[in-house]
Amino acid sequence: MAKALLNLVDVQVRRGMNTVLEGCTLAVGAGQTVVLTGANGAGKSTLLETAAGLLPMEQGHVEHGEVVVADADGRRRPSPLTVGMTLQRNGVLGSELVAEHLQTAMSMSGHSVDIDPFLEAFNLMHRANDLVAHLSQGQARKVAVLAGLLPAFASPTPALIILDEPDAGLDDASIEILGQWLNELRAMGHALLVATHDERVMTQATHLYNTDQSEVETTTEPPVGKVDARTSREVKPLSPSAFGVKIHLRTMMWLNTNAMAGLLTLGILLTLGDFMEELDNLQRMGFILAPTLAVGLCGEPLVAALREERAGVWWRAVGGGEPHAGWIPLAIGAVFTFLTTNGLQDAREIHIILTGAVLCFVVWHSVGWMQRSTQRLARPHAVFIGLLTPVLILPYSILIGLLA
């Protein structure tokens, strides 16, 4: 029997008041392609996202290789395998370049292959350096499918590939090519879990799993076509922090949210005139760091951007965490503290500027953590993170007291 790369053991998952998966047990071994079948709403997408360790479980656990990556107690561990995933939504930010996103997906395996043959096969070669936002829906879907497949083509070890209706939005020629690639990956020893309604994709299955009846059916193993050796090279995996910094610098989203709040706060202080000389040290520190605090309290603007096309979910599945601003709050905090001391004509002391940088960094990422935490709830928009931010006033007051 093939070594199991994915094991779902007695898994129960609820969505709202409904139990979608009940006692689900499924194994996918190296060199196997398991295709999920069943009616719409039968739990195919839920099963796939549970297999990727994305959804909370009422009972059971999920194993990648021999490592439990998620269980009913809420414990999560990074997958030891290379994971490629295509969601129902594309999982790609519009501000990413086509080739850039594919290289990012492959980098999670620590290896990369030449993407040109894949782009040519999907008729995307001429769009390689275009923003995903400029693609048609069908082209963007092709990018999402390639992002799910290429990590396995690049990985020198067996990988786990999870595809949710990869045929949706593809033309007939592209679906035929997709089937060939699935067959090739299976022959290379990777494990594939695919949800589809397309009979042409089902023909690539070694096993069919009916989500309505929780039954596995073994099919006739599809013949393996010619498998060309693909030369891979080692690359450095792109971290969520590095990706987040790159997107922040490219889109300047921090300027539209965080920096604007800081500028408005600073502007209000400047309209009060020359009042700093009448204040004691505690009050002076409070006013100097107020714009910097306002910058941090806006949180992480990437959270909202990653919600589009479920890019944040894709990153959690393949990269282990969501992108964030990294060191950018340090720089913005230092700049705003410097601007405030200048504008209020106060002494520009280096320790105050450094304190402002650290304050912005801590508050920014604390609020960002709260924002990301709500994304996994059933109704994330029903939670108002702004109501929780006043808890940061106490440590801010303590900090001001220490500085004064």
Contact between 315 and 237 (Cβ < 8 Å): no
Q: Does residue 284 or residue 357 have the better pLDDT?
A: 357
Mean pLDDT, rounded, for 116-127 = 95
pLDDT for 185 beyond 80 = yes
Domains of the chain and CATH, by start: 4-234 (3.40.50.300), 240-403 (no CATH)
Residue 111 CA neighbour count, 13 Å, CB half? 19
Whether the per-residue pLDDT at 191 is higher than 90: the answer is yes
pLDDT tens digits, one per residue of 26-47: 999 999 999 998 888 778 999 9
- Contact in structure between 109 and 81 (CB atoms under 8 Å): no
Q: Is the predicted pLDDT of residue 295 greater than 80, yes or no? A: yes
For Cα atoms 46, 383, 16, give the angle at the middle one, nearest 5 degrees.
30
Q: Which residues pair with 13 in a beta bridge?
A: 21
Q: Sorting pLDDT into bands at 50, 70 and 90, what band is 99?
A: very high
C-alpha closest to that of 305 among 365, 362, 371: 371
**Across 2-6, 66-70, 255-259, least confident range:** 2-6
277 vs 353: CA distance, rounded Å: 20
Residue 381: its pLDDT value, please?
A: 55
159, two tokens = 């990988």
> How many other C-beta atoms are found inside a 10 Å radius of the C-beta of residue 166?
29
Longest dimension (CA), the chain: 85
Q: Mean of the pLDDT values across residues 247-276? A: 91
What's the chain's average pLDDT?
Answer: 88
Q: What DSSP line would sit under 150-196, residue for residue?
A: HHHHH-SS--EEEEESTTTT--HHHHHHHHHHHHHHHHTT-EEEEE-
The residue among 143 and 279 whose pLDDT is bigger is: 143
Least confident of 168-172, 219-223, 231-235, 237-241: 219-223
Residue 347: the pLDDT is 66
**Token pair 């499924």: residue:** 26
pTM above threshold 0.95: no
Convert the pLDDT of each residue in 45-59 to its tens digit.
999 999 999 988 999
What is the rounded distance in angstroms from the CA atom of residue 282 to the CA atom of residue 273? 19
DSSP 349-366: -HHHHHHHHHHHHHHHHH
Burial (0-12, 13-18, 19+ Cβ within 10 Å), 193: buried
Tens of pLDDT, residue by residue over 322-367, are 999 999 999 999 999 999 998 887 667 888 899 999 999 999 999 8
Structure tokens given for 85: 């995933």
| 299: DSSP letter | -
The three-class DSSP label of residue 59 is strand
- The C-alpha angle with vertex 246 and arms to 91 and 79, in degrees rounded to 5, equals 50
Q: Would you tell me how many other CB atoms lie within 10 Å of the CB of residue 228?
A: 7
Q: Which one-letter amino acid corresponds to residue 370?
A: M
Lowest mean pLDDT among 68-77, 240-249, 268-277: 268-277
Token reading at 290: 């107020």
Positive or negative CA dihedral for 313, 27, 231, 177? negative
**DSSP per-residue letters across 321-336:** S----TTHHHHHHHHH
Phi and psi based region of residue 326 (left: phi greater than 0; alpha: psi -120 to 50; beta: remaining): left
Asked if 144 and 163 count as a contact pair (C-beta separation under 8 A), the reply is: no
With H, G, I as helix, E, B as strand and everything else as coil, classify residue 360. helix
Which segment, 10-24, 257-271, 366-380, is predicted with the most confidence on average? Answer: 257-271
231 φ, ψ (degrees, to nearest 5) = -80, 125
Rg of the chain on CA atoms, in Å: 25
CA distance linking residue 151 with residue 230, whole number of Å: 12
Q: Is the pLDDT of residue 210 over 90?
A: no
